[in-house]
Structure 1
Amino acid sequence: MGPDFRFILRVLAAHKMLILFIVVLLTAVTAFGVSLLKDQYTSEALLLVDNRQVRVVRAEDQALGSIPAEDAAILSEIEILKSTAVLARAVEDLKLATNPEFNPPIQADETKPLVERTTAFLRDKAHVIWGEELPGPVTAILAHGDGMTKDTLAREAHASAGIDGVLDRLRRKLDVAIVGRSRVIQVRYTGKDPELSRDIVATIVRRYMETRQQMDRDLSTSAVAWLQDRIGTLRKEVAEADQRVEAIRFKAGLVKGGNGLMATGELEAARLRLAEASANRARMVAQAETLERRGGQAGSIASPVVAQLRATVAAISTEMAQLSRQYGPKHPRILELQARLSEANSSMQMEMRREINGVREAANVAVEQENALKAMITKLEAGYQTMAGEAVPLRTLESEATAKRTLLDSLMARLEEVSAQQDNRAFPTAVKLVSEPQVPHEPSGPFRILLLIAGLAASVFIAVFTVFGIELLQRRIRTPETVRRILGVGNVHIVPHHSTRGARGRLYQIFQNHPFSLFSESLRALFRNHLSDLGPVGSIAVTSARPQDGKTSMSLAVAQVAAQAGRRVVVVDTDFRRSRIDGLFNLSAKKGLSDWIAGTATLDEIVHSSDDVPFAMIPAGHLMPETLDRFNVDGLVHLMAGLSPHFDLVVFDTAPALAVSDARIVCGAASKVLFVSRWGHTTASDLQAVADLGPIDHDKFVAVMTDVNLKKAASRGYEGPYNSYMATRKYYGDSTMRATP
């Protein structure tokens, strides 16, 4: 149903003094502790994780790549900053091992180990007991203690000489972290001395930069050394591979030329010449056949001599045609021209036959040359097939030699790049100093006001937690709901606490003296609501779970109420082991119920009266062995039958139900069972134990919670009718009002 804020406030109000005490105490302790704190000064430096730098070679040709600016890389730089190597060098530079803030001196009492003090104490006691001469076993024990003392001193001396403690103190005050989601690393140190804080941050940053620079140099040096070693090895391997290739080539006759193997080049050249010869042969044969087919016509022969002769014949023929018109055929000039024309034609025919024969001869030569080239190619191809078996391993060796030579060239280029990069690493490749540490002028802490506020808030929280812890751990019965839940009864009657109660067990006197009080009204309500309908003769068994729950007081109070209501009441004490009525009314010397059970007394002898109360009483009497054996339900029924002529109500004061079985016998014989639980005294486990005894007869079972502090219960927010009781308490007037005589 949600939290009950009224209950929470009532609980807090009920424990306000406890809360106030805890808050004041813890706040005072916090203020005292804060006053002892000394001012702290923080110095810081900023480092940027960045890859940008001057490149000697191209970025894609870098032999040593830079660190990527990722989260893992930045965290790696932080771990290097906090590493023992960097911090130890800073401790050594600043001589922090001798600084009292980092290595406080050991007190005189602390330097003496516990073993040494114990051994000295045992030695003194041994000398007191045995004197100067100690027994052998005691001497051996003391010698063993001395040896342990020496070992302890040696370990302490070793620990004080080391810097482990100094490094631990340094790390506790050193803060190295990433600034937001950037690539900036913040190095901060908080100490009591501002100048020392600045020196520590500056030294750590400087040593870190030197460490990173040395790491880069070592990396470059190792890379150069490895490249040089690898290059020397590859040079030898390349030389050996070339020697093996040449040896196999000369052995197989595979001489290598400028453009490859000589055999292969020769074959290709022969094939090229064959192609040229075939083309030339085809051209010459075609030319010869054309000339022969045309019969040696002058126009088909491209020869300068033939052309010149053809021009001479044409000139003579022209001149002779011109002269033939003027002179007759017998003219000497005409005859001369005819002779010259015949001689020119004869020379031209002779030259044409010589040209045709030359063309034919050239065609025959081309055919022979083509045949010769074909024969040579056939021979070369046969030889090349013979050498193919030797060329396969040669090509393998040549490939290996080429690969090694390529790798050698690449490594030599890398060696030059790395050597150039070594001169470029004056600072770490990936880290740059952005802000140098400064001497702080204002203290960075402690925040005393915030600490006081936090102490106050913590004290309030602890106080509230303590109060509700006490409430949650409370196992005492304080609400009727708890009784109903555990015992399974319908309702629980509440009898409030009376502040003027006085002596223990005298509730009947309070009822007599304060008849108008809330306490007296609650007893009247109990009798009228639950105990007035018992018939002509009734019996009530008053019991509880444990001793001191107020059952005897309730028995007498119920008897008082019933007697004042006009009933004839007798109170029977059945608690044979720890009788309370005997002591209250001085009945110890008189006979009681045990005597009647044993048969040594009659009913008239065991019933007693007193001037102080309006009811009769039967004491428990002296406990005898046969009393418990004969105490049963039948005996109680016989007792009530004997008392019925003289009394209207019998009230049995029983023993605790969890202590002995007598209470269960009385409850079985009685008409009503009045179960008493005391507020703040009876526990839930007691009620659970009562419920575990057996089923409860709810028709005659009446649960009563006595001694209820209504004011405290209402102020602490307990559930139940406490608020209504408190609201109507003024109706009853002054609780100390007495009855008028």
Structure 2
Amino acid sequence: MPREFDGPAPAMGPDFRFILRVLAAHKTLIVVIVLALTALSAFAVSLMKDKYTSEALLLVDNRQVRVVRAEDQALNSITPEDGAILSEIEILKSTAVLSQAVADLNLATNQEFNPPVQADETKPFVERATAWTREQAHAVFGPELPGVVQAVLAHGDDMTKDTQLRETRAADSIDGVLDRVRRNLEVGVVGRSRVIQVRYTAREPEIAQKVVDTVVRRYMETRQQMDRDLSTSAVAWLEDRIATLRREVAEADTKVDAVRFKAGLVKNGTNGLMATTELEQARLRLAEAAALRARAVAQAQTLERSSGNGGSLASPVVAQLRATVASISTELAQLSRQYGPKHPRIQELQARLNEANSSLQQEVRHEIAGVREAANVAIEQENALKGMIAKLESGYQTMAVEAVPLRTLEAEAQAKRQLLDSLLGRLEEVLAQQDNRAFPTAVKLVSAPQVPHEPSGPFRVLLLLAGFVASLAVAVFIVFGIELFQRRIRTPDAVRRILGVGTVHIVPHHSTRGTRGRLDQIFQNHPFSLFSESMRALFRNHLSDLGPVGSIAVTSARPQDGKTSMSLAVAQVAAQAGRRVVVVDTDFRRSRIDGLFNLSAKKGLSDWIAGTATLDEIVHSSDQAPYAMIPAGRLMPETLDRFNVDGLIHLMAGLSPHFDLVVFDTAPALAVSDARIVCGAASKVLFVSRWGHTTASDLQAVADLGPIDHSKFVAVMTDVNLKKAASRGYQGPYNSYMATRKYYGDTTLRTAP
């Protein structure tokens, strides 16, 4: 349904002046809402208690010493992934860690973490309702209650017991305390680093520091215990597996010896014994050569990777040369502070230093060459032993067919022996990991929590500012909501759009104090007011061309729109213009003219229609008005049945010799059909809509009654508060109010409330 402000959108965007005028019109409401909501926000903020935040920083670093043998150590480092850091965060927030912290600090007895159970005055609704019902039932039925009432009360008691049981369990349980700890515990990664920040906010600074310290400590202990448990389980498994492998190696060696004896490879004086002994000795020498070769190669590689100053050599010559270089360098540095680079002493020391460095480098190269030569010799010895073993094995394979299973058993025994050696090395490494001094935990404490001295919240100024901004937004939203859902007609454009009329005449509001709503008397008593001028303009522009004898029907959509006041005002204007005017009241059900002029006991229009009175008997005059009046008369069934257009034409014909203008005061057009009959017979139809009273749905209902004869239809908007309309930015001829008021100097116009 159309609203008064429906229409095409402005071509240049929103009308900011309209927005400002609407806000200015409701400034009192806005101020009240803003002050109320801001005061409520200030009160809520004042109830908030200070909170303190303590924090600790943890570094995720999984670097650790990896021990392969007791005499061999290496530093192992693997860059932690995001998943590993997030895993540490989840461990920090786990129930196991937080439960231990809660138990250590005894937080279950702290009211901040475990509030007391509800008091009697705040008992659950079911308990209070059950008690009240029991009292009322005893008051009505006495000590003995009916079975149905007892069943209802018993059900209420069961629900109360269940509620109390849940509250007791909640008070005894640690789940509620853990939930409160988790809500105030913040654990996160600092930027893109490997540092984890642990923060906790509490009402007391000591509690905040203790919670962070305890959580971090328990987390470190849990993390170490996890590592120890893992090492212990690994050690147990390795020991069990090593014991099994030892038995299997011993059994394999026994089987090898048995096969050798069976094949005759171990008899005295035989070639098999000599070949076997020689092969075994060759293998032993090969093992020694391999160890010597590995040690020499490793030493050579280490020396080659080191710097050329011979820092890793144990040679006394290298040590003496290194001491000489250091001594000359020290002396040269001391003299360089006193003399320049061209001083003879400086040049002499520089030459000695270069000579010493050259000797040192030459000696180091000589030592490295010697070590490399020893490594090459070891490699050649190992290759020679491998060739000899291969030759012995080729001769050994031809000795007997029984030797084939022997080699299989020997290979199996050798594989188990190698696996045993590997597990022994892993066992030694895991045993070393159990020592926390050599194997620190993967997470290290960087910054310990401190007791905060300044509160971290709440930010009262920001909260007050946010409350003020929110209250201002709510106030503006309410104001524009009121404007949006405003269904009252307040602009002539709305009347034109709904009824399809060309123009709408504006009749401004004028105070009616002491005149009982008599606009005709306002026109008479205030002839120079805006109201009087608008009535003159209405009569001259729309109602003065009716011919020698004309008729005007004044109607509206709904009651209380001012039809009677407008009818009398139009009659007053026409009478003062020299016209002979008679006002005919056609509202048989609710006549106002009868009451205004004390005509209730006199005959009226209904009597003339019924044929019980003549035309002269129903026309009355009053000293209060310069026009004649025909009251509605008594309401009779035959009056409504005989009321039609022909009767009204006959009435106007009878009044034409005595009057120039007939003004019909009708009933509301939407209430009864009488108004449509009068409008059909009249020369002009004056349709009245009251500013701020008539709704858009009323006008739409009038438009739906049928097509409007625009040649005789005149739309009037009455009781328009020009100042209020102009201040609220409604479209229409309202902005000229101040200039018009200044021109006329009228001080009786009502201002906007």
Three-state SS of the structure 2 residue aligned to 1:434 is strand
Residue 526 of structure 1 aligns to a residue whose secondary structure is helix
Q: 1:177 to 1:626 in 2, by over 3 A?
A: farther
**SS at 1:627's partner residue?**
helix
Question: How do residues 141-160 of structure 1 correspond to structure 2 at under 5 angstroms?
Answer: 141-160=152-171
User: Is the 1:13–1:715 Cα contact (8 Å) retained in structure 2?
Assistant: yes
In the alignment, the residues of structure 1 paired with residue 453 and residue 625 of structure 2 have an alpha-carbon distance, to the nearest angstrom, of: 88
Other-structure match for 2:134: 123
Structure 2 counterpart of 1:446: 458
Change (3 A) 1:589 1:186: same
Corresponding position: 1:38 with 2:85: no
Change (3 A) 1:736 1:41: closer
Give the conservation status (yes or no) of the 8 Å contact 2:68–2:428.
no
Looking at CA atoms only, which structure, 1 or 2, has the larger radius of gyration? 1
Q: Which moved more, 1:71-80 or 1:552-561?
A: 71-80
Shift of residue 711, structure 1, vs aligned partner? 1.2
Q: Name the amino acid aligned to 1:145.
A: G
Q: Within 1, Cα distance between the matches of 2:409 and 2:513?
A: 121
Instruction: Structure 1: state its 5+ residue gaps.
Output: 248-252, 256-261, 263-383, 385-390
Contact 1:710 1:726 in 2 (8 A): no
Q: CA deviation at 1:147?
A: 3.1
2:135, 2:645 → 1: CA distance? Answer: 74
2:742 paired residue among 717, 722, 730: 730
Per the TM alignment, residue 236 of structure 1 is displaced from its structure 2 partner at its CA by 10
Which aligned pairs between 1:575-590 and structure 2 lie closer than 5 A?
Answer: 575-590=587-602
Alpha carbons of 1:706 and 1:233: their partners in 2 closer, same or farther (altered >3 Å)?
Answer: farther
CA 485–186 in structure 1, closer or farther in 2 if over 3 Å, else same: farther
Find the aligned partners of 1:613 and 1:559 in 2 and give their Cα distance: 9
Corresponding position: 1:187 with 2:198: yes
160, 163, 168: which one aligns with 2:179: 168
Deviations 1:478-524 (A, max 9, x none): 22222222222222211111134544431111000001001111111
User: How far off its partner does 1:430 sit?
Assistant: 4.1
Q: Residues 423 and 588 of structure 1: is their aligned pair in 2 closer, same or farther, counting only changes over 3 Å?
A: same
C-alpha contact 2:487 2:696 (8 A) present in aligned 1 = yes
* Other-structure match for 1:550: 562
1:618 aligns with 2:630: yes
- Which residue does the alignment assign to 2:714? 702
Q: Secondary structure at the match of 2:158?
A: helix
Where does residue 617 of structure 2 map in the other structure? 605
In structure 2, what residue type is equivalent to 1:177?
Answer: G
Distance in structure 2 (CA, Å) of the matches to 1:494 and 1:57: 104
Match of 1:207 in 2: 218
**Residues of 2 paired with 1:31 and 1:25: CA distance?**
10
The alignment's C-alpha RMSD in Å is 4.1
Partner in structure 2 of residue 673 of structure 1 = 685
Distance in structure 2 (CA, Å) of the matches to 1:403 and 1:624: 129
Between 505-514 and 178-187, report the one with greater CA deviation.
178-187
Offset of residue 588 of structure 1: 1.6
Whether the 8 Å CA contact 1:50–1:431 is kept in 2: the answer is yes
Q: Which residue matches 1:491?
A: 503
Instruction: Find the counterpart in structure 1 of residue 63 from structure 2.
Output: 52
Change (3 A) 1:419 1:607: farther
Alignment CA distance shift 1:633-1:217 (3 Å): farther
Conserved? CA contact 2:519–2:568, under 8 Å = yes
Matched, 1:717 2:709: no
Please give the secondary structure, in 2, of the residue aligned with 1:533. coil
Give structure 2 stretches of 5+ with no counterpart. Answer: 1-11, 266-271, 273-400
1-structure distance, mates of 2:66, 2:249: 32
Q: 1:437 to 1:611 in 2, by over 3 A?
A: same
Q: Match of 1:296?
A: none
**Please, which moves more after superposition, 165-174 or 569-578?**
165-174
1:3 maps to: 14
87-96 vs 599-608, which moves further:
599-608
- In 1, distance between residues paired with 2:540 and 2:428? 115
The aligned residue for residue 301 of structure 1 is none
Change (3 A) 1:57 1:538: farther
Matched, 1:541 2:553: yes
Q: Partner of 1:470 in structure 2?
A: 482
Separation in structure 1 between the aligned mates of residue 710 and residue 50 of structure 2, nearest angstrom: 73
In the aligned structure 1, how far is the partner of 2:254 from the partner of 2:689?
A: 114
- Mapped contact 1:113–1:153 kept (Cα < 8 A): no
Asked if residue 458 in structure 1 is aligned to residue 470 in structure 2, the reply is: yes
Q: Supply the distance in 2 between the matched residues of 1:246 and 1:572 (Cα, whole angstroms).
A: 145
User: 2:144 — aligned with what?
Assistant: 133
1:218 Cα deviation (Å)?
A: 4.1
TM-score w.r.t. the length of structure 2 is 0.71
What residue identity is the alignment partner of 1:43?
S
Q: Do the aligned partners of 2:68 and 2:425 also contact (CA within 8 Å) in 1?
A: no
Distance 1:648 1:104, change over 3 A: same
Q: List aligned pairs for 1:332-351, cutoff 5 A.
A: none
1:645 counterpart residue number: 657
Deviation at 1:585, TM superposition (A): 1.3
Q: Which amino acid aligns with 2:534?
A: S
Change (3 A) 1:117 1:538: same
1:101 to 112, 128, 143: 112
1:511 aligns with 2:489: no
C-alpha separation between the residues in 1 aligned to 2:99 and 2:233?
Answer: 26
Quote the offset at 1:244 in angstroms: 13
Distance in 2 (CA, whole Å) between partners of 1:464 and 1:726 is: 27
User: Partners in 2 of 1:6 and 1:515 — Cα distance?
Assistant: 35
- Contact 1:40–1:443 at 8 Å: present in 2 too? yes
SS in structure 1 opposite 2:736?
helix
Q: Is the 8 A contact 2:117 2:167 kept in 1?
A: no
Instruction: Note closer, same or farther for the CA distance 1:420–1:720 as it changes in structure 2 (3 Å cut).
Output: same
Corresponding letter in the other structure for 2:701: A
Q: Distance in 2 between matches of 1:234 and 1:517?
A: 122
The separation in 2 between residues aligned to 1:625 and 1:235, in whole angstroms, is: 127
2-structure distance, mates of 1:575, 1:178: 84
TM-superposed CA distance for 1:4, in Å, is 2.2
Aligned partners of 1:517 and 1:735 also within 8 Å:
no
After superposing the two structures, state which structure 1 stretch, 610-619 or 70-79, moved more. Answer: 70-79
**3-state SS of 1:615 partner:** strand
**What is aligned with 1:435?**
447
- The reply on whether 1:22 has 2:33 as its aligned counterpart is yes
State which drifts further: 453-462 or 419-428: 419-428
1:171 alignment partner, SS class: helix
- Aligned residue number for residue 288 of structure 2: none
The one-letter code of the counterpart of 1:650 is V
Which residue pairs with 1:595 in the alignment? 607
Judged with a 3 Å threshold, the aligned counterparts in structure 2 of structure 1 residues 129 and 725 are, in CA distance, closer, same or farther, namely closer
> Shift of residue 538 of structure 1?
2.0
- CA separation in 1, counterparts of 2:409 and 2:598? 131
Structure 1 window deviating more from structure 2 (157-166 vs 16-25): it is: 16-25
Seen in structure 2, the aligned counterparts of structure 1 residues 733 and 55 have a Cα distance that, compared at 3 Å, is: same
Alignment of 1:375-414 (within 5 A): none
Per the TM alignment, residue 197 of structure 1 is displaced from its structure 2 partner at its CA by 1.0
Moved more, 65-74 or 184-193: 65-74
Q: What is the identity, as a one-letter code, of the residue corresponding to 1:158?
A: R
1:78 is matched with which residue: 82, 86, 89?
Answer: 89
| AA partner of residue 575 (structure 1) | D
Q: Does 1:479 align with 2:495?
A: no
1:210-359 equivalent positions in 2, closer than 5 A: 210-221=221-232
Structure 1 residue 567: Cα displacement: 1.7
Structure 2 Cα separation of the partners of residues 599 and 446 of structure 1: 87
Closer/same/farther in 2, CA of residues 629 and 413 from structure 1, 3 Å limit: farther
Partner of 1:177: 188
SS at match of 1:9: helix
